Amino acid sequence: MWPDRRLTDLLHIDHPILQSPMAGAATAALAAEVSNAGGLGALGSAEMTPDQITSAVADLRGRTNQPFNLNFFVGDAPVTDPAVLARTRDRLRPWYATLGLGDPPETLPDLGPSFDETRLALLLDLRPAVVSFHFGLPPAPALAALKAAGILILSTATTVVEAQALEAAGIDAIIAQGYEAGGHRGSHQPTAPAQGVGTMALVPQIVDAVSLPVIAAGGIGDGRGIAAAFALGAAGVQMGTAFLSCPEAGTDPARRTLLARATETDTMMTDAVSGRSARAYRSAYATAMEATREPLPAFLQLYGLTDPMLEVGQDDVASFHLYGQAARLNRPLPATDLMRLLVAEARAVFRSLS
């Protein structure tokens, strides 16, 4: 039924529907159900220790013998200018007071590079069928080692230039992530929250600029979106928000409640929580920080200041519930049923248009 079989043939899957590798929200159970239903399940491994990744992969392999994707962030060890830290602590002090917290922490976490030699060695040992990267790619020798091990490589592009750079690096398929997408923007360099191209505009321009299969991501919530992606020239889709309402997802109860009454205007793009632009539920803190933009601590280090605020649980004041603009389309179904429904809906649209 799929009008373009390049991705299904490449990944050895029945349906070109990739579940987004959502760090913190994708579970082994969710990924396995998606893979068993003919899609490509994924585990966002960016926030997991090597031991956690090893046991999650064992869990996954106990549930499925189908291909799955392990996903990692790419980036150097973050460094924050002390003056930026001091100024950000000043800006966060009133929010800490509102939330009944003490003074913001004086230091930021000391973090290494996001994807390192340990994780590369782990991947070469675990040998998932697919690995995907967010925020660019690791250095060429790491890519060469993954390729030599027969692991297929995907990465995200948010512009045509990024897609061309990914193709030149020799990866296997490109995820074109539009501005509607929930979660962090996978731009190869940090970008201001206001900067972004929607999926409808981005996908055909990337399709025209590269010869690799393109996977459309961002705001695809049902079979209509899937069919539309193929009309734009994509060979498949990656969907995250739609899977957040599945019982197998690790979605926290507060975000499930928000998703159940979501509208298309619930979310905003902000870098004031993590240090990089991400689409999440609109909070008073993010709104105020975006209205008075100033340099912020480096990506991932900023969590050292914002995590205490998120843990209080006052979602309208400060929260980081990542989801996209199409959340109103979510159906709270088991992943197997959702996959079946998505395929049936896409088939019906293809038929009605032909």
Interaction site with ligand FMN (CB under 6 A): 20-23, 25, 44, 46, 71, 134, 177, 180-183, 186, 217-220, 238-242, 322-324, 326
Q: Which of 219, 325, 227, 221 is nearest to 269 (CA)?
A: 325
- Cα separation, 151 vs 69, in Å, equals 10
Taking the least distance from each CB to ligand FMN, the nearer of 20 and 283 is: 20
Residue type for 238, please? Answer: Q
Neighbours of 87 (CB within 10 A): 15
**Sheet of 152-157, strand order:** 17-19, 236-239, 214-217, 173-177, 152-157, 130-134, 68-73, 41-44
Taking the least distance from each CB to ligand FMN, the nearer of 44 and 138 is: 44
Token couple for 108: 């930021």
Q: Which of 217, 211, 216 is nearest to 235 (CA)?
A: 216
Taking the least distance from each CB to ligand FMN, the nearer of 85 and 228 is: 228
Residues in CB range of 59: below 8 A, 6 or more apart? 28, 29
Closest contact distance (angstroms) between CB of 325 and ligand FMN is 7
215 close to 176: Cβ distance less than 8 angstroms: yes
Residue 292 vs residues 76, 88, 91, 272: alpha-carbon distances, Å: 27, 12, 10, 11
Is 325 in a helix, a strand, or coil? coil
Sequence length of the chain is 354
Closest contact distance (angstroms) between CB of 329 and ligand FMN is 9
Taking the least distance from each CB to ligand FMN, the nearer of 92 and 227 is: 227
| Helix 303-311 × helix 82-98 angle, to 10° | 10
Closest contact distance (angstroms) between CB of 44 and ligand FMN is 3
Taking the least distance from each CB to ligand FMN, the nearer of 8 and 20 is: 20
Name the residue with the smallest CB distance to ligand FMN.
Answer: 240
Taking the least distance from each CB to ligand FMN, the nearer of 92 and 327 is: 327
Neighbours of 341 (CB within 10 A): 14
Taking the least distance from each CB to ligand FMN, the nearer of 210 and 215 is: 215
Taking the least distance from each CB to ligand FMN, the nearer of 19 and 301 is: 19
Closest contact distance (angstroms) between CB of 115 and ligand FMN is 12
Closest contact distance (angstroms) between CB of 72 and ligand FMN is 8
Closest contact distance (angstroms) between CB of 197 and ligand FMN is 13
Closest contact distance (angstroms) between CB of 116 and ligand FMN is 17
Is 226 in a helix, a strand, or coil? helix
- Cα separation, 18 vs 68, in Å, equals 9
Closest contact distance (angstroms) between CB of 143 and ligand FMN is 16
Taking the least distance from each CB to ligand FMN, the nearer of 204 and 250 is: 250
Closest contact distance (angstroms) between CB of 135 and ligand FMN is 8
Is 35 in a helix, a strand, or coil? helix
